[in-house]
Amino acid sequence: MKSIVIHAARDLRIEEAATPVPPPGPGEVRIAMATGGICGSDLHYYNHGGFGTVRLREPMILGHEVSGHVTALGEGVSGLSEGQLVAISPSRPCGDCRFCNEGMFNQCLNMRFYGSAMPFPHIQGAFRQVLIASASQCAPADGLSPGEAAMAEPLAVCLHAARRAGGMLGKAVLVTGCGPIGILSILAARRAGADLVVATDLSDFTLDMAKRVGADEVINTGTTPDGLGRFSADKGSFDVLFECSGAAPALAGAVPAMRPGGTIMQLGLGGDMTLPMQAMTAKELAIKGSFRFHEEFFTGVSLMQKGLIDVRPLITQTFALDDAVEAFQTAGDRTRAVKAQISFA
């Protein structure tokens, strides 16, 4: 069984496991991995060996945006069948800590999230040819392609953020940063009833994709630094900001365009940011963090199956497993990639 393992920044290896994969235990399934999407956090491990205070301290299998086909069922598993395509949630809360008992599963104190160096030993990821997973992690993905099913995880991130933002029916929404999370936030905001959606980025390629999936207007803030200026008149225009870049200048540039009482949803994770607190205070803006997801994972699969959210345009490249290094190099190039995926089939 091959796996994609990160050892240090720019040290990505395809390794063969020394031991065979065991059969699934009670409540588990064995999955032949089909597709894995390269996430921003995967890129942070690849390019920098971590992000913020999180650093690699041992080799770690990457990957958490995955889908595959069930090849064996453990004792007591129902609702799944051999050969079935499933989207696999990487979120595995313990179910017994104080936050799990309060229903805040994404804040679990003992979270086992695939491909995370936050704890030590690290939580090994899902970029491997065969995976044993709990049946409760698996969302049947009948009718979807493996690539679409692997998009369930980033879509769930954005659905969770939209849920935390509150009602968006008829609202004006600004999205800063048009990577996969930014573009999926556009789709989530539209599904939630947003009337006006404006997106900003530094890449014309990703802005074109934002326009394609439904943004009313896109602004390249690199070539047009004052592009948001007209939205700042009379104390601002936007009710909700999805800040998806993790860059302080993006947030600072957006605040003047926010209307008083608006909500900032911070999704981008790029390290600590300096906030324009005086301007935010004067406008009585609410800033909310949004971290991972839980039940939104299954909702995202359902929305895709019903044709209510179409993620197919976001999948810009698919690479073979043996070309993983090229896949990672491409995934970080915002002039030509939105979501690069790896095929394990």
Q: What is the CATH number of domain 2-151+311-343?
A: 3.90.180.10
Q: Which residues of 11-24 are buried (b: 16+ CB within 10 A; e: fewer)?
A: ebeeeeeeeebeeb
60 touches 122 (CB < 8 A)? yes
The verdict on pTM exceeding 0.85 is yes
311 touches 184 (CB < 8 A)? yes
Token match 């409540």: residue? 27
- Encode pLDDT of 235-284 as tens digits: 999 999 999 998 999 999 999 999 999 999 999 877 678 889 999 999 99
Peptide bond into 121 cis (omega under 30): yes
- Encode pLDDT of 57-112 as tens digits: 999 999 999 999 999 999 999 999 999 999 999 999 999 999 999 999 999 999 99
- Encode pLDDT of 199-245 as tens digits: 999 999 999 999 999 999 999 999 999 999 999 999 999 999 999 99
Tell me: domain 158-289, CATH 2.10.109.10, correct? no
Which stretches does DSSP call E strand in 189-308? Answer: 196-201, 217-220, 238-243, 258-266, 286-289
Q: Residue 309 class from Cβ within 10 Å (0-12 exposed, 13-18 middle, 19+ buried)?
A: buried
Segments making up each domain of the chain, as ranges? 2-151+311-343, 158-289
